[in-house]
Amino acid sequence: MFSKSDFFNVKEVRTEGLSNVTANEVLQLLGTVKGENIFLTDTEALAMKVKLHPLIDQVQVKKELPATLVVKVQERVPVAMILTGDGVVVVDLHGVILKFYDSWPAEDNPVLTGIEVPGTIGPGQKIDNVNLNKALLLLGQAPAELLPLIGEVHSTTDGQISLYMTSGIEVKIGFDAEFTEKLTLLQELLNSEEYKTVEKAIKYIDLTAGKPVLGR
């Protein structure tokens, strides 16, 4: 009975959680839903359509009776930039490509160097690279206060990682596969009054052995 009543035909589609993605983009991915009976609408299938957008991570489509669909979106968050021969690639914490830029973008995120981006993949696809995974793990484990101070994460071919702070100081991390302890030590060091008195004379900080060693 309800499935045959025009009263329950979809008349409105409402989007929530959008920032970089527009409502029109979501509506285009949904296709023609207005006019469909809301009881016959496959919300899971609609969510899968919207999730095809490279900037969208999670989607939930809910029904609000009598005639409204609510599309709740969680966008992917840019966390790093990778320099390539053709420009700059922006990725999220999982290594999924969000955007390509021919010139330097407005995003203020750390730059990852020593990472190769295959020329055969594009937005919405994940870069499969061991060094990239380690660099992104490091950024994910960095204290919130430390992140804005990291200008570059450099990976060598043998898997070593170094940070270059926005102050110009190099921080040697080493071969670690887990970074929380070293990054916490680094944050404590940078905040210490003792370090601040000698900061201008410091060229690098060596954390490869765990305990910070200052190089002048």
For residue range 180-191, what is the model confidence (pLDDT) as tens digits? Answer: 999 999 999 999
Q: Which domain holds residue 198?
A: 80-215
Q: How many domains does the chain have?
A: 2
> Percent helix, strand, coil in the chain (nearest 5)?
30, 30, 40
Q: What's the whole-model pTM score?
A: 0.82
Give the mean pLDDT of the chain.
Answer: 93
Give the 3-state secondary structure of residue 25.
helix
Please say which residue of 43, 75, 107 terminates a domain.
75
Please say which residue of 24, 59, 75 terminates a domain.
75
> In terms of domains, do 116 and 20 share one?
no
Please say which residue of 40, 75, 110 terminates a domain.
75
Least confident of 98-107, 127-136, 164-173, 203-212: 98-107
Phi-psi region of 83 (alpha: psi -120 to 50; beta: other; left: phi over 0): beta
Q: Which amino acid is at 185?
A: L
> In terms of domains, do 106 and 197 share one?
yes
Mean pLDDT of 58-71: 97
CB-based contacts of 201, cutoff 8 Å, min separation 6: 216
> In terms of domains, do 106 and 189 share one?
yes
Closest by CA to 65, choosing from 131, 106, 8, is 8
> In terms of domains, do 87 and 146 share one?
yes
> In terms of domains, do 133 and 42 share one?
no
Position 159 scores a pLDDT of 87
H or E stretch covering 78: none
> In terms of domains, do 195 and 141 share one?
yes
In the β-sheet with 68-75, what is the strand arrangement from edge to edge?
Answer: 12-16, 68-75, 56-64
